[in-house]
Amino acid sequence: MSVSDRVGEPKLNQPRAEGDNRQILLEVDNLQTHFRTMDGVNRAVDGVSFHVRSGETLAVVGESGCGKSVTAMSILRLIPEPPGKMAGAIRFQGRDLLKLSDKEMRSIRGNEISMIFQEPMTSLNPVLTIGRQIGETLRLHQGMSKQQAEDRAVEMLRLVGIPEPGRRVREYPHQLSGGMRQRVMIAIALACNPKLLIADEPTTALDVTIQAQILDLMRDLKNTVGAAIVLITHDLGVVAEVAERVVVMYAGRKVEEAPVNELFRNPKHPYTQGLLGSVPKLGSSLTGETTRLVEIPGLVPSLKQKIPGCVFATRCPSVTDLCRAVAPALQEKAPNHIAACHYAPVEASVSGTVAA
């Protein structure tokens, strides 16, 4: 299987980050993660670029199947090859992770880059105690003794707000609630003080109260340990709560990127507008408003077929023949705000476009 640049699409720079002097920690450049299947090549991630600065929280949003989780797994090189194949560049502190050996990657996973997976019940080993699962990372990466690792595990459980941590380290995952298991996953991820934390749907399957507690915890821990966060989610409420900047993905491609307040105030891409329009407005029933939620018609295109034009063309209410024939390049539509749409308006304050 060949994974190469898409024909006709220029290599893209990132939007300007004026006033932000934080060092770029992670840079994903034209990432392509494809899978060979019986029916052809599935282009799960098809030319995605973004960066994360030290201490920043970046949200990657989109509906199920858009490539969010595959992007996260690609950063940690957890994609099996074959059937998967990755191309492009993933630079972490200047080192291209795609060029490192398996041994070098093992020293980075769980140590400098950690990940919180979607399902804590299936991610935790049911036959090992909580303390042993936290301590495993510490003994591997930090060279701690068994007792040192257990002491550190107790400390981490206390840090993430689990009561009676000295007792909980000897318990098993099934003895904890869903919220506690998610806190354990966060404790494991932060045990080695990573520089980057990837959180893949960290509040999935949790009730609203526990979701709020987990988000508060992640925000507090970010301030405590100074880690940057890449938050993978489809929940725009979560994005508004914790993110600084947002990348919107659709059908394996990035279609928009902007600071969180700018994105919610003035979405440029029709897909982003549809996502925001489909979110119920709090208190609308009390005011007597009967605003109908926005519906995005149609289906996501097959990722096993080459799409010559815009990936959103089959569902866009403003589609033209140009959209069907020519893939729009990511262009700067407002300061620090880029979108891949031929007809998204460009604000007067922007003097040029984002292109190679």
**pLDDT tens per residue, range 15-55:** 555 557 789 999 999 999 999 988 888 999 999 999 999 98
Whole-model pTM: value is 0.84
Does 214 reside within a domain? no
- Answer yes or no: are the C-beta atoms of 41 and 230 closer than 8 Å: no
Lowest-confidence region among 81-85, 293-297, 310-314: 293-297
323: three-class secondary structure by DSSP: helix
Is 259 within the bounds of a domain?
no
Number of domains forming the structure of the chain? 1
**Residue 297 resides in a domain:** no
How many C-beta atoms surround the C-beta of residue 159 within 10 A?
19
Asked if the model's pLDDT at residue 91 lies above 90, the reply is: yes
In a domain, 61, yes or no: no
The residue among 267, 279, 254 whose CA lies nearest residue 329 is 254
| Percent of the chain at pLDDT exceeding 70 | 88
pLDDT of residue 13: 44
Q: How far apart are CA 96 and CA 45, in angstroms?
A: 18
DSSP state of 173: G
168 belongs to a structural domain:
yes
CB 56 within 8 A of CB 115: no
- Asked, for residue 154, whether it belongs to a domain, the answer is yes
Number of Cβ atoms within 10 Å of the Cβ of 317: 10
Asked whether residue 148 is assigned to any structural domain, the reply reads: yes
In a domain, 100, yes or no: no
Cα–Cα nearest to 1, from 29, 40, 27: 40
Its domain, for residue 146, covers 120-191
What is residue 342's predicted lDDT score, i.e. its pLDDT? Answer: 93
**250 DSSP β-pair partners:** 253
